[in-house]
Amino acid sequence: MLFERGQITTYRDVDMARVTFNEDLCKGCKLCIDVCPKKIVVIKDDVLNKKGYHPAGVVEMDKCIGCAFCAMMCPDCVITVEK
Ligand code: SF4
Ligand code: SF4
């Protein structure tokens, strides 16, 4: 990664994990919520997907440790974890 003049980039910024959900495949079973050690996966009560479920998503992404337990647990391959 390049560091430009005036840019503040911490080790944590560079190394942070990113978790994405293919929301329309989610059936809201909550298995990913139960398994997350940081308790940052939640059901998005204000969103309805194409199947008519409230999908799961991550709040406070900066707390994610990239363990990928959520992705491994999901029976519908909704979740992708990048580190
Ligand atoms: S990768 Fe690990 S810490 Fe991050 S949301 Fe998934 S289960 Fe939680
Ligand atoms: S485990 Fe998969 S299908 Fe179940 S709530 Fe989580 S993302 Fe949705």
Hey, whose CA ends up nearest to atom 2 of ligand 1?
67
pTM: 0.85
- What the chain holds in terms of domains, given with CATH numbers, is 11-82 (3.30.70.20)
Please, what's the b/e burial string for 54-65 (b: 16 or more CB within 10 A of its CB; e: otherwise)? bbbbbeeeeebe
CB 38 less than 6 A from any atom of ligand 1:
yes
Q: How far is the CA of 60 from the centre of ligand 2 (A)?
A: 18
Q: Which comes out higher in pLDDT, residue 14 or 83? A: 83
CB 70 less than 6 A from any atom of ligand 1:
yes
Share of the chain above pLDDT 70, in %: 83
**Predicted local distance difference test score (pLDDT) of residue 9:** 45
Ligand nearest to the CA of 47: 2
